[in-house]
Amino acid sequence: MDPHTLSLVTTLLFVFTAAVAGGFFAHALKIPMLLGYIIMGFVFGNILPRFTDTQFLHLISDVGVTLLLFTLGVEFSFHRLRHVLRTVFWAAFFQIVLVTTLLFCVLFGLLGMLFLPALFLSIAGALSSTVVVVKILFEKGELDTMPGEILTAWLVIQDLAVIPIMILLPGLVSLYLSGSPTVVGATTVIFFQLLKAAAAIFLVLFFGKTGVPFILKNVAKLGSREVYLITTIGIVFISALSLYAFGLSAGLGAFIAGLMIAETSQNHMVFSEVRPLRDIFSTIFFVSLGMSIPIATIALLWPMVIGMTALIVVLKFVVVFLLSRFLGYHPKTAWLVGLGLLPMSEFGFILAREGLISGALSSQDFILLISLVVGTIAVSSPFLFHGQTLYYRLKKLLGEKIFLFGRKTNLKMEKNEELPLKDHVVICGYGRVGKYVGRALEMAGIPLVVVDYNHTIVTKVKEKGITVVYGDPADRDVLDKAQVDYAKAIVIAIPDLHSQELIIGHALTLNKNIQIICRTHHEEDQTRLKTLGVQIIVQPEFEASLSIIHRLLPEYGVVSDDLSGKISRLKIEHGVG
């Protein structure tokens, strides 16, 4: 084996070893996997620098970036975007462009940074990590909560903002590095950059609408997964090269190729075929980032990294919290949304690489930007996991003063207002579960009170003539206003365990005889909820499986009595029988 081949083999061996070690490290500490990859890449890269082929590593990591941007495009949904535009579009736009980016750019400039590094760091700081946030929300079962929906919407807008950033930034960098930046010159560059982008994107989209579905459909008829995968990858790189030929980012071409395929009927098949390849190459990308950070530079930069991480986290939270309150959201929602947008986006890694290649960033600036992305993700992840607990501790300190920040709402009830109800049902959370329970109670003529802190839902419920209390269901005073002490039952339709525990405790304090019905996403929470005093626990996933069983088994000749026995056995095994 010649020395060059041996170098390539040892490089891949160390990269994959670092990735596996990083996976175990991240799992043990319960941190995002990409952090584990970067940290172990940093360790291996500084311990064994002589055994890695840096040029080869950069080459395959570039492929990883291209495939990563492509799959982000495939997962992107324009249908979801229509809903987003009606909710937090202007607040997110204001946060990205007019507040966070400009604010960070000015502050970084005051800290002595040159314009281009300050601009790159500001853009990276304005965007948040979709991968980290959505993963944590999914693990906690909070994607369908009010804060979860707002965070998802906000992140979609930030992902969409990547397109104009990738179009305009290369032109502005080349203009600034030319040494003669003027207003006229900048306007001209922006105009021609947008013109080139429009022409390139039009050609790519035209080919995507006409040629891509036809090609993929006919290739799929061959029945060969290998040919289908190679064809898909070919489309990705054709799109990337097309935009690169126009002087734009190749990554933008890959992202747009993903958007094209997302609108075809083959999008799920394409994603499932490309994803394993994407995972391998993007893992190499994250490990290579860690390997490219010399320990000597980190030793010099660590005070700046800590200070700027704190600056980004604090200012970003304040901006997002105040914007959320201005939109009229409850302080709890604003708090959770503010915490959710703290981690800087993975796009910061791509931005750092582009800045280094274009000459906008020095090697020290490159390392600083990567360190800030890693630092904000590491710092913010515990806040995301324990956001509910932190909110209630803060509320205990501030009390009603927490409502002073942001726009006040006219939905709060008077303190001395009494609801003329008795033996009613209190529904905590009127989302996808609570609204159907409420509708059934309406049809049955059973009195009910809805408790929710989503002002849009509260307004709609009031218009229907349903009694509603605006406020956090986990607040004892709010439950008291809902006359829990006179209620017959309380339905806890919100998925957050910490809030559920508070509601249960307050409800039993107000009414020790009340029947408590609670939903939960996780089987391991059932014992805890029963211990607290919940009589009926409903797990949506388990109930869905029972519904499927009711429809499936009779098709195979299972009679009604036998079916009921099997259902009862499953309920006993599940702990709800």
DSSP letters, 125-167, are HHSB-HHHHHHHHHHHT-TTSHHHHHHHHHHHHHHHHHHHHHH
Residue recorded with tokens 């026995």: 565
Cα dihedral 94, 96, 102, 108 sign: positive
Q: Quick check: 33 and 70 in contact, CB under 8 A?
A: no
pLDDT at 438: 92
- CA 261, CA 275: separation in Å to the nearest integer? 14
Structure tokens at 209: 């609408």
Computed over every residue of the chain, the mean pLDDT equals 80
- What is each CA distance from 11 to 17, 36, 111, 306, in whole angstroms? 10, 18, 38, 31
Does residue 42 contact residue 15 with C-beta atoms inside 8 Å? Answer: no
Assess if CATH 1.10.10.10 describes domain 3-390.
Answer: no
Other Cβ atoms less than 10 A from the Cβ of 437: the count is 19
Predicted local confidence at residue 75, as pLDDT: 66
pLDDT of 407: 47
Q: Which residues pair with 426 in a beta bridge?
A: 449, 490
Query: In angstroms, rounded to a whole number, what is the distance separating the alpha carbons of residues 340 and 313?
Result: 11
Whether pLDDT at 314 is above 80: yes
Measured CA to CA in angstroms, residue 371 lies from 58, 342, 346, 527 at distances of 18, 15, 12, 42
User: Rounded to whole angstroms, how far apart are CA atoms 256 and 266?
Assistant: 16
For the ranges 50-59, 333-342, 397-406, the one whose mean pLDDT is highest = 333-342
pLDDT of residue 518: 92
What confidence category does residue 509 fall into, taking pLDDT thresholds of 50, 70 and 90?
A: very high
Contact 337, 327 (CB under 8 A): no
- pLDDT value at position 571? 78
Q: Residue 430 is inside which H or E element, if any?
A: none
Query: Which pLDDT band, with edges at 50, 70 and 90, does 410 fall under?
Result: very low
Contact 458, 411 (CB under 8 A): yes
Residue type at 86 in one-letter notation: R
What is the fold, at CATH topology level, of the domain defined by 425-538?
Rossmann fold (3.40.50)
pLDDT at residue 84 tops 50? yes
Model confidence over 449-499: pLDDT tens digits? 999 988 778 888 888 889 999 888 988 888 988 999 999 999 999 888 888
Q: Tell me, what DSSP letter sits at residue 114?
A: -
| pLDDT grade for 416, boundaries at 50, 70 and 90 | very low
pLDDT in tens, 512-559: 999 999 988 777 778 888 888 888 888 887 888 888 888 888 888 888
Give me the residue label for tokens 């069983």: 549
* Beta carbons within 10 angstroms of residue 371's beta carbon: 23
Residue 191 reports pLDDT greater than 60:
yes
Least confident of 36-40, 119-123, 307-311: 36-40
Neighbouring C-alpha atoms within 13 Å toward the C-beta of 424: 23
Q: What is the mean pLDDT of residues 200-205?
A: 67
Lookup: tokens for 344: 């800087």
Are the CB atoms for 256 and 204 separated by under 8 Å?
yes
Q: Do residues 491 and 504 touch, judged by C-beta distance below 8 A?
A: no
pLDDT band at 97 (very low <50, low <70, confident <90, very high): confident
The answer to whether 482 and 459 are in contact (CB under 8 A) is no
Q: What is the mean pLDDT of residues 253-271?
A: 71
Amino acid at 406: G
Higher pLDDT, 143 or 413: 143
Task: Indicate the range of 187-191, 507-511, 515-519 predicted with least confidence.
Answer: 187-191
pLDDT tens by residue, 320-345: 998 888 888 888 888 999 999 998 88
Nearest to residue 69, comparing CAs of 282, 267, 243, 370? 282
CA distances from 569 to 183, 191, 377, 406 (A): 75, 69, 45, 52
Closest C-alpha among 350, 345, 360, 287 to residue 312: 345
Q: 165 — alpha (psi -120 to 50), left (phi > 0) or beta?
A: alpha
User: Bridge-partner residues for 537, per DSSP?
Assistant: 518
Question: Which of 49-53, 73-77, 262-266, 545-549 has maximum average pLDDT?
Answer: 545-549
Confidence of residue 504 (pLDDT cuts 50, 70, 90): very high
Hey, where are the domains in the chain? 3-390, 425-538
At 445, list the tokens. Answer: 């003529």
Tens digits of residue pLDDT in 363-372: 889 889 988 9
Residue in the structure block whose two tokens are 């996997």: 33
